[in-house]
Structure formats: structure tokens, C-alpha cells
Structure 1
Amino acid sequence: MNTLKLYGADWCPDCRRAKAYLKENNIPFEFIDVDLDESATRLVEKINNGKRIIPTIDINGTTYTNPNNAELADVLGINDAGVVQLFGADWCPDCRRAKSYLADNGVNFQFIDVDEHEWATDEVEKINKGKRIIPTILIDGTPYTNPDNASLKELLDIDVKKEHKVYDVIIIGGGAAGLTTAIYAQRDRFDSIILEKKTIGGNAFLTQTIENYPGFTNISGPDLMDKMEEQARTYGATIATGVDVESIEKKDNKFYVKSATETYIGRSVVAATGSTYRRLHIPGEEELIGSGVHFCATCDGAFYRDRTVVVVGGGNSALEEGIFLSGFVKEVKIVHRSEEFTASPTYTEKLPKMENVSTYMNKTSLEFVADDNGQFKGLKVRDNATGEEELIEGDGTFIFIGLIPNSKLFENVIDLNKQGFITSSGLAKTSVEGIFAAGDVREGAIAQVAAATGEGVLASYGLKDYLKH
């Protein structure tokens, strides 16, 4: 459980001040009098390099020496609208989005890392009826599961004030393509803003290890995307996360890009919304998403440490993520519908050397099965050769069977092909003058980070040519 220990003494003015502030804001705490407990005195001295400084406050294992009320408000999430606690993890895209939104709008919140505190994971599952969904945010004790920015704005009565300026380019999507477009646009002195629905980095941010990006033998997806984000900001790009664009309208040679809370105005637009993981669409999938069925090993793999997981798919992504999971789970069971993997030898050659990875080839996925408590039990499959059915048991499953373009926003705005990818020509031009496309959402794009950066360059040259005329 969330714990706060206050080491102090009754005669200490700052201890009395801290105790009063915690009581006023209904923050539970344990008061430990150092005058009555010698071990507490020694602990305080150890924490403070030999000095007996009180109050010393321990919050879930992190200590603070004589924090003032503003500092307490910051770390405990005390606000006029209530106490805000965010249960999440650093690798979670929506957690990063929510943290960024709260911080950008001056909202104090206590961040509780589910990777560091087992009780926090239990609390999240209890709130979400067995599902491990983060971020889960408590506002004065009332839980909200993964609220978007518009919901947080309303719940916390946040007054968002943005400057209504006209940007040279509005980039929708903050993955590698969008970030590269912003870097090149800013270097050409074009004022750009990136609007990202979740967190900066796109699918690349969710990749544990990238081994084919020029300049790096290997680098984690988050590290590479953080470097790109830093570079874009250094050149002056504005970046807004948690912005779910709802519509795009061209009027008087300007584009009006509307979200639930704000309208952004730009002289041009770059569609860099990327792609989303494809689903199997079999019984049990929808019901068990977040509670046994997942699409991102980097995001949710940590929940299955020392447990058994099933991986569905046979391409590069499936094997890459399966190999990543094998590093900390007990067993990985890879299920593929064909007799041979489509993944490159870089990945297939590694499998025979991995003792905790087994493969189930030529199997069609039929149904995700839950136990009597509604928790994931396994994946029912059919052998394509014999017709026999079996249940491949595990504690959870990860699906990696391809991507679909995030192009719904652009329906009836620009031309899409039958699969939903944006059609383009020349310097990333779409069917509407002033709108450009880059990255996985574009027809013919190669779903690789290095390729996405190249597409960002292409789009930047297209918009430069457009804006100069």
C-alpha cells in the first residue's frame, strides 16, 4: 500500500507544520518520534549523512529532508481540485502522455511506479477488475482508467490557454517521420508543431532494441526517439502530446486542425500518424485485452516476469518481441499459422539457441480461453494439417501479426487506397494541396525507423516547396 512515514519530534516546528499540512489534506501517515525511538534517530542520521535533520519523510521508500509544503504538494499530488495519484510505468506511452499533460498544466501528482511496487500492480488490478491497465489515475480516491487529456481537463478543471498562432506546418503524429519532418522544417526556419495522440516516438518507442538504424549497432527504441525529440525541441519545434485530432478543414489557404480542446491553425499539414497493431478478431480477444491479451511486449511484458507467455505471429516483429520476452519470462510459446516463419534469418537463427522458446507451426488461432475467474488461460488452435485442436496454455499472450494504417482521420479529406493507406506522389504530396504524408500511414512506405526518417525528409522538402510559392 501507499506508505508515508514522518520521522520527527513534537518539539520540532517544521515537524508540526508538516503534520498539520498532511492532516489538512487527508494524507495518511505514520509519525515516528525520534526522541522515543533510537533506531529511528540512527536511520535519520544515515539518510542525512550523519546529520539529525527532522522532519525526514519517507514516501514509498524515497526520502525527503524537511520538505516545505509546496514540495509535499508536488510529490504527493495535492491540488485545489484534490489529491492526484498516477499509477503507471516509465515505459508506458499513455503514462508519459498523462504525466506530460499534468505537468504542463501545473497539476501536482504523485507518480507510483507499478514496476517498483508490487502492491501498486495489485491495486491497479483490483480497480480494473483483474486487468492491468495503466495509467490508472486516482483523484481524491476516485479511480479513472487511462483518461485522455480532455477528460483530465474536465475532471481537474484545468484552464488550458494556448496562443492562437498560425504555424507554418502542423505535423500530426510524433513518430520518427513526424520528428524528422519537424527537425528539417525548423532548420529551414519554418515554425512547426507536432500533435501526438499518445506519446512521442510512435511504434519505434515501443521497440526494445533497434539493430538496423545507421550509426548504432543497437539502441533501444525509447533512447533513439528521445534523441530525436530532443533534437526537434532544440531546433524550436513545439510538441504537444495527448492531442487527439478530430477534424481537418482547409479554409482561405489555411488548415484548421481541431482536437477536443483546441483548434490549431497552419499553412500546411503533414500526416505522419503511423500504424496500429492488427488484431486476430477471434472470440475472447476483445474481452481479454489488457487482462492477458497484449500487443506490445515493451509495454506489458514486465507484468509476466517468470511466467509463461504465448506469442502469435511469424514475422520480424513477432520473433523480435518473442526473443525480448524470453530474457525475463519463464517460457515463450510462439504460434504461427504457416509451416515456416516469414521473419529474416537474423531472428530465425537465434531461436534454436534459446532453451525457453518453443514453436507451434502451421496452427490457426481459434479462440482466447479464460478460466473460471475470467482470467487468461490459453489460446485454442487448430493444426492445419491434421485438423486437431489443442489449448496452448500460458499466463498471457502477445499478438504481432502486422499493422494497419492510422488514416481514419483523413477519410473524406484526402485520397486513400483500398487498404486505407494515404496515396501520394512526388515530394510526399497528397490529393489536397498543402497536405503531405510521411511514414507508415503512406502507401508504399517501408515500416522501418530508418525509412521513416527518410520520409520525413521527403515531406519537409515538399512543404518547403509549397510554402515558398
Structure 2
Amino acid sequence: MANSYDLIIIGGGPAGLSAAIYGGRAKLKTLVINKGAIGGLVNTTREIVNYPGYGQISGPDLMKDFKKHAETFGVEFLKGEITQTDFSQAEKKVVTKKGQEFLAKAVIVACGSEPRLLNIPGEKRLRGMGVAYCATCDAEFFEGEDVVVVGSGDQAIEEGMFITKFARKVTVIVLHDEGILDCNKVSAERALNHEKMEFIWNSTIEEVVGKENVEGVKIKNLKTGSTAELSCQGVFFFVGMVPSTGYLKDGGIEMDKRGYIPVNELMETNLEGVYAVGDNRVKYLRQVVSAAGDGATAAVAAERYIEEVNDFNRNVLQSDKKVLLLFFNAQDNESIKYRTALEKLNEKSGTDYKILSVDMATKKNLAERYAIKTIPSVVVLDKGTEISRLEGLEESLEGLI
């Protein structure tokens, strides 16, 4: 089928592009579907100075290099928005807003997250020109300048203190009465006593002011209704992040109450063959370098999963013979002896079963499919349908065939 792939990656940020590079290099037919500009949030970063190998580069330029690298391995790209998914079958299906349908053996969700916007005048227009959402990404570009921080939760206050390492002054706009912050008590105490931090209480920001760059903000006092303009060169918004996972709500993927996807060390979700990487997953650090690592891990895991699926289809579902599926530990002497005994029994019986050995250390998905809890175990299959099984060394092989 023209729309059938080995691997589909939803999202073209650093996590998705890294996964694409690894997928393409593994000779997987790979498609990246991205609804916006390639690069995602990284495109809003004026300069990146902490990505290995690049002393200084803009976010868009770095993402162009990522995409170009993926294209050298034959990765395909499609601009489109995924609105529907069906991950319940062996072949996973995704559907775009335009009605295009694509099938894949594995899917990597790399759609990222977005800062929660206040949608006030000037915020979108000056994004990347003084308006920022990530202190570790952009704080150093405000060396010796005045910065405004919007928000009073843990992220706002802790990132605000990080910004003080570079800025001349950091002014925090807080909705609450004087002395009340939404962050933890330790951070609140440190911030309130920080010599470079000031607070404007009972207030909100109404507008970001500036022509080509941020020049100031308009602040409204919520109690008096009065407004005032404060001069600054940067505004950091920390009013929350929103994972871009709404389209997955009814797709069976486990998500936390905020919409982030929990994964294991292989980036596997609760659904077989579906992975989540980058800013849309539950994680500690949201940076380009950590996103790239996520993508590499998921793509390698997906490659091995696809190889396992292909082997199973070829050796089990398409086999003319019944199959003895042996789950064992290749490093365990008892397991190896068990395999030898099974081979001798099959040869002696003359029933000509096909033996397929599965090392539990490398093919966990197959073991989970057949609910294997003890090794060694043997599952007798006919075209993939279980006929019988033996579990553990305690059960005799006699009578199995």
C-alpha cells in the first residue's frame, strides 16, 4: 500500500527528527508527520549554545540540520495534523485532518508541548524577540538587562532565580496578595529574600510593548484597576505548559491528568509498538539534547520491535508446520539443556514441529503477548493460535508432542 510504513513519527521537533535519523539509518520506511514548521518550539529560540558540537546556532538552523540529516537516509516528510488514531491492531493507523490515512508497524509520538499562552497583545508577535518561555534556553541572552517573569508557581520562581544569574533585575508579576506565592516554601523564601528579585503583587500583565523587540509591559492592579507601564527587555511566561496530546485522548494511550504520557526506559507506552518521546512524555528535563536522546532510544526500540513482529509473522503465522515456541534464557544452563531436550524430543517423535527459540532478554514483547511468567516455557501454536503449553522445569516434556 502506498500509505503503509514501517515507522510513523508524529511530530518534527528534535525528538521526532532524531528518531527519524535512527529509523532511516536502520532501513525502516519512515514517515514524519508534522502540523507546523519543522523544529517545533526550538524554532522560537534565537540562539542555542548548549547543544554538543555547536558552539552557537539558532534554533531554526539547528532543526534544518536535523531534517537534512534525516533526509539523507530517505526519511519522508508530510505536513499535516493528526486528528484520529487507531493503535489497537498490529498495524497502527493515523488519520490527518484532510482525511489521509497511514498505516505503520510502529508509531513514535513526538508532538511535544506548548507553553500556556495568556493571549495578550504583543505576546505572540514578539515571541523570540524578548518574549520567552524557557529560562535555561534563553536567560543568558538578557545579560545585564531587566526582565519580567509572569507566574508564581514552582517553575516561575525557580526559573526566575536562574534568570538572576544573567539579568540585572527580575520583576515577578503575581496575582496574589503580598507575600503569597504558589511555589514551595523553600523557593518562596529564597526568592523573597533575593537581592535581584522584585515583586509586583495583586497584578496581571495586559500587554507586551515593543516594535521589533520587547521594550516593556503594561501591568494592571487587580484591586485598584489602575495600569502602569514597566520598562524591560525580556518577558518570561511561566503560566504552565500544555502537552499536544489532545488528539490521543480516546486512543487508548495512558496519560496523566495533565495529558503527559508515561513511558519506560525504552520509551514504550502502555500500547505495544507505540512510543512517546520528547516534551509530550513525563520527564525531568525538557531540552533539545534530552529530546534527541529520547528519539534515538525509541527508534532503536521500535526497530527491534518491528524485527520481532516480522520474524513472528514469517516463522509462526506463515509456517506450514505447527510451532513449538520456546521461551528461555540464553545465559542459563538449565534453559539451554531444556532447549536441547526439546529438540531431541521433536526429532524422536517424528511429528516434525518447527521449534522457535525466544530469548526472554531480547524479545520481551512476545513474552508479554503470551503472558509468559516462568522460564523455560513452551507454547504450542498452529498459525499463531495456542494449542497447549508447558511452564517451568517441573513439567515434563513428555506428552507435549
* Residue 276 (structure 1) aligns with: 114
Which one of 230, 233, 244 corresponds to residue 81 of structure 2?
A: 244
1:350 aligns with 2:190: no
- 1:124-203 matches, within 5 Å, as 164-203=2-41
After TM superposition, give the deviation of residue 398 of structure 1 in Å: 5.1
Alpha carbons of structure 1 residues 445 and 257: separation in structure 2 relative to 1, 3 Å: farther
**Matched AA of 2:123:** V
* Residue 182 (structure 2) aligns with: none
After TM superposition, give the deviation of residue 319 of structure 1 in Å: 3.5
Q: Is the 8 A contact 1:314 1:342 kept in 2?
A: no
In 2, the alpha carbon distance for the partners of 1:462 and 1:370 equals 45
Which one of 361, 373, 378 corresponds to residue 218 of structure 2?
A: 378
- 1:218-257 matches, within 5 Å, as 218-241=56-79, 243-250=80-87, 252-257=89-94
* Residue 297 (structure 1) aligns with: 127
Alpha carbons of structure 1 residues 337 and 433: separation in structure 2 relative to 1, 3 Å: closer
Alpha carbons of structure 1 residues 377 and 178: separation in structure 2 relative to 1, 3 Å: closer
After TM superposition, give the deviation of residue 292 of structure 1 in Å: 2.2
After TM superposition, give the deviation of residue 400 of structure 1 in Å: 2.2
Structure with bigger gyration radius = 2
Which one of 423, 426, 436 corresponds to residue 275 of structure 2?
A: 436
After TM superposition, give the deviation of residue 365 of structure 1 in Å: 4.0
* Residue 259 (structure 2) aligns with: 420
After TM superposition, give the deviation of residue 272 of structure 1 in Å: 0.3
In 1, the alpha carbon distance for the partners of 2:41 and 2:281 equals 15
User: Aligned residues, how many?
Assistant: 272
Give unmatched runs, 5+ long, in structure 1. Answer: 1-162, 302-308
In 2, the alpha carbon distance for the partners of 1:436 and 1:389 equals 50
What's the C-alpha RMSD, in Å, of the aligned pairs?
3.7
In 1, the alpha carbon distance for the partners of 2:233 and 2:160 equals 26
Alpha carbons of structure 1 residues 398 and 468: separation in structure 2 relative to 1, 3 Å: same
Which one of 89, 92, 95 corresponds to residue 258 of structure 1?
A: 95
* Residue 306 (structure 1) aligns with: none
Q: Deviations over 1:370-390 (max 9, x none)?
A: 99xxxx98231469xxx9965
After TM superposition, give the deviation of residue 338 of structure 1 in Å: 5.3
After TM superposition, give the deviation of residue 394 of structure 1 in Å: 7.0
In 2, the alpha carbon distance for the partners of 1:208 and 1:312 equals 10
**Matched AA of 2:54:** F
Alpha carbons of structure 1 residues 231 and 314: separation in structure 2 relative to 1, 3 Å: closer
- 1:266-415 matches, within 5 Å, as 266-280=104-118, 285=119, 288=120, 291-294=121-124, 297-298=127-128, 301=129, 315-316=135-136, 319=139, 323=142, 334-337=148-151, 341-343=157-159, 347-352=163-168, 360-363=198-201, 365-366=203-204, 368=206, 378-381=218-221, 390-392=227-229, 400-401=237-238, 402-413=240-251, 414-415=253-254
Q: Deviations over 1:160-210 (max 9, x none)?
A: xxx823110110000000000010011111111100010101111211111
Q: Is the 8 A contact 1:168 1:266 kept in 2?
A: yes
Higher RCO, 1 or 2 (CA under 8 Å, sep at least 6)? Answer: 2
After TM superposition, give the deviation of residue 312 of structure 1 in Å: 8.3
SS of 1:265's equivalent?
strand
**Matched AA of 1:196:** N
Alpha carbons of structure 1 residues 412 and 313: separation in structure 2 relative to 1, 3 Å: closer
* Residue 451 (structure 1) aligns with: 290
In 1, the alpha carbon distance for the partners of 2:125 and 2:152 equals 20
TM-score, scaled relative to structure 2: 0.59
Give unmatched runs, 5+ long, in structure 2. Answer: 171-195, 210-215, 309-401
SS of 1:208's equivalent?
coil
In 2, the alpha carbon distance for the partners of 1:370 and 1:350 equals 21
Alpha carbons of structure 1 residues 452 and 350: separation in structure 2 relative to 1, 3 Å: same
